[in-house]
Amino acid sequence: MKTIVILLMLAVVFITACAGAGTYVQDTTGCFSFREVERDDCYFNKLKCSRISDVTVRDSCVVELAKTKEDIAVCNLIVGEKTQNYCREQLAELTNNQSICSDIDDQYWRDNCFFHLAVNNNKGVECPLILNQDQREECFEEIALATNKYVLCDFLTAERREACIYKIASATEDITICSGLRSSLQQDACRLKVAKLKDDARLCEQIKFDEVRKTCDEHFE
């Protein structure tokens, strides 16, 4: 009789243990009822990245998880190298940490990292660190126009530099900035623009070319 009782008790313990184990592994996200792609999307939305079967989707999920946690170490869980560098770039932006940019291996994402930090802070210190010339110039240009610091226009190629100075002179309505243009005719065209913007006929006197000054005078007649 004792043997039967002991066997029954062991059976109850075994059944209880199995039920407990079943509860432990049970998917409580509600995603398991979906199939394939939809299930991965569901896990992505809930940031249950480890349960996603598609590697690319899982890597993208880990990027979002790293951003949520603001933890650069989470980026190391990503399989794809490019996505891992993208993750670091996103964390650098989010935490405004330039040192993260320097640790990025891929030039494209490293350049993007320095670019976004510079533009987000309106400071040109990161711009020279950008290897891609066009993006480096765009970095200086965006900050120059955002801050009206026309000295930053000097880091641009000739045509781009002239347009940059002209825009800042117009935006600030500061006729003295026009002198920074290389061509005398461009300087006068800039002065004419500022005179019109300020609605100040006296500024026409600073124009050197007769034809341009005449155009300015006629504007105010």
- pLDDT per position as a tens digit, 60-107: 999 999 999 999 999 999 999 999 999 999 999 999 999 999 999 999
- Same domain? For 113 and 172 the reply is no
Distance CA(221)–CA(181), nearest Å, equals 28
In a domain, 142, yes or no: no
- Same domain? For 37 and 104 the reply is yes
How many structural domains is the chain composed of? 2
Q: Which of 211, 166, 216 is nearest to 186 (CA)?
A: 166
185, two tokens: 């005719």
Residue at token pair 């935490």:
95
pLDDT at 32: 81
In a domain, 8, yes or no: no
Single-letter code of the amino acid located at 177:
I
In a domain, 178, yes or no: yes
In a domain, 23, yes or no: no
In a domain, 141, yes or no: no
Domain boundary residue among 66, 99, 118? 118
- Same domain? For 154 and 218 the reply is yes
Domain boundary residue among 118, 141, 173? 118
pLDDT at 26: 61
Print the domain residue range for 100: 33-118
- Residue segments in the chain with a per-residue pLDDT below the cut of 50: 1-25
Length of the chain: 221
Domain boundary residue among 118, 140, 175? 118
- Same domain? For 45 and 113 the reply is yes
214, two tokens: 């005449």
Question: Could you write out the DSSP letters of every residue in 98-147?
Answer: HHHHHT--SHHHHHHHHHHHHHHHT-GGGGGG--SHHHHHHHHHHHHHHH
210, two tokens: 């007769």
In a domain, 124, yes or no: no
- Same domain? For 56 and 108 the reply is yes
